[in-house]
């Protein structure tokens, strides 16, 4: 039987390859995302066990860790990079449901199948473990389930805020809000657009023309500057936050 981390185990016979497992073990103490990750709430004993059972993997841009409607084989924490959570309609159209970045937990423990796909928008590093092994780990350390519950409640709050954004905010407020989220997930002053203009439009429920027009308005207001098609800078953060309402 192939191992849980072999390509044949995770591809489910559909020609999908598994992200390559790195040859070195994870070092939790040096993880830049640790303070934001679910494992930050673990006891020393749980942390040591989590370090023992997890494996580091890399995802290339466009590589998928979990496929919608497939059995969830892996769960884990994002050490670096940005991933998109997507679902597909019957006619094949893709809808971006949200983004996951440093410190976020991805995968579906305590369940069998995933309701969305998890795909890297940029090169990403994760610490992952097989779902069944993680469930056994959580059963052995009660604080793990508590930490997951708190994380799930945070995700629920985020989903409710996103419903407010889509339901009540104007087009300009939506675009400004998304730029603030991009900035929060990106170190440095030059911030990459992890999504194309079309993906931004799909995520915000707008047209690509509206997204481009609102970016131009923010640039003319000197709230941001566009260094190129793939990067921007925040020039006036209070003004940008005011436009995001």
Give yes or no for a contact between 210 and 201, defined as CB atoms under 8 angstroms apart. Answer: yes
Which tens digits make up the pLDDT trace of 58-93? 999 999 999 999 998 999 999 989 999 999 888 888
pLDDT in the model for residue 128:
94
Residues 6+ apart with CB under 8 A from 126: 19, 56, 57, 59, 65, 76, 77, 78, 79, 81, 106
Can you give the pLDDT at residue 74? Answer: 92
Give bridge partners of residue 119 from the DSSP assignment.
Answer: 64, 84
Give the DSSP H or E segment for 215: helix 208-220
Instruction: Return the pLDDT at 231.
Output: 92
pTM, two decimals, is 0.75
Strand partners, 26: none
Give 129's strand partners: 75
Cβ-contact 62, 119 below 8 angstroms: yes
Structural Rg of the chain based on CA atoms: 19
> What per-residue confidence (pLDDT) applies to 16?
54
* Residues 6+ positions from 89 with CB-CB distance below 8 Å: 95
Collect the ranges in the chain with pLDDT lower than 70.
1-30
Q: With the C-alpha atoms ordered 172, 175, 179, 185, is the resulting torsion angle positive or negative?
A: positive
Tell me the CB-side half-sphere exposure of residue 118, using CA atoms within 13 A.
28
Residue 81 region, left (φ>0) first, then alpha (ψ -120 to 50), else beta? left
Per-residue model confidence (pLDDT) at position 1? 38
Place of tokens 């303070």: 35
C-alpha span between 206 and 208 (Å, rounded) = 7
The pLDDT value recorded for residue 164 is 81
> Under CATH, what is the fold of the domain 7-162?
Jelly Rolls (2.60.120)
Q: What is the CATH number of domain 169-243?
A: 1.10.10.10
What per-residue confidence (pLDDT) applies to 166? Answer: 78
3-state SS, residue 222: coil
Q: Judge whether 7-162 and 169-243 match in fold.
A: no
The residues spanned by each domain of the chain are 7-162, 169-243
Q: What angle do CA 46, 52, 56 make, to 5 degrees?
A: 115
Alpha-carbon distance of 122 to 89, in angstroms, equals: 24
């Amino acid at each position: 039987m192939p191992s849980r981390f072999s390509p044949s185990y995770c591809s489910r016979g559909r020609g999908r390859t598994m992200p390559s497992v790195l040859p070195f073990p994870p070092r939790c103490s040096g993880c830049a995302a640790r303070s934001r990750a679910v494992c930050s709430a673990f006891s020393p004993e749980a942390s040591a066990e989590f370090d023992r059972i997890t494996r580091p993997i890399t995802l290339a841009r466009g590589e998928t860790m979990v496929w919608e409607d497939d059995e969830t084989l892996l769960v884990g924490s994002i050490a670096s990079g940005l991933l998109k959570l997507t679902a597909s309609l019957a006619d094949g159209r893709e809808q971006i449901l949200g983004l996951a970045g440093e410190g976020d937990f991805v995968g579906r423990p305590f369940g069998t199948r995933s309701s969305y796909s998890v795909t890297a928008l940029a090169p990403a590093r994760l610490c992952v473990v097989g779902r069944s092994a993680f469930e056994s780990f959580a059963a052995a350390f009660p604080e793990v389930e508590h930490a997951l519950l708190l994380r799930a409640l945070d995700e629920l709050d985020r989903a409710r805020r996103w419903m407010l954004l889509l339901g009540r905010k104007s087009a300009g407020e939506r675009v400004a809000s998304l730029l603030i989220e991009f900035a929060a997930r990106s170190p440095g002053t030059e911030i990459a657009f992890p999504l194309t203009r079309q993906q931004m439009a799909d995520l915000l429920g707008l047209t690509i023309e509206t997204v481009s027009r609102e970016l131009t308005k923010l640039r003319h207001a000197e709230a941001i500057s566009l260094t190129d098609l793939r990067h921007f800078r925040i020039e006036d953060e209070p003004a940008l936050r005011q436009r995001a309402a």
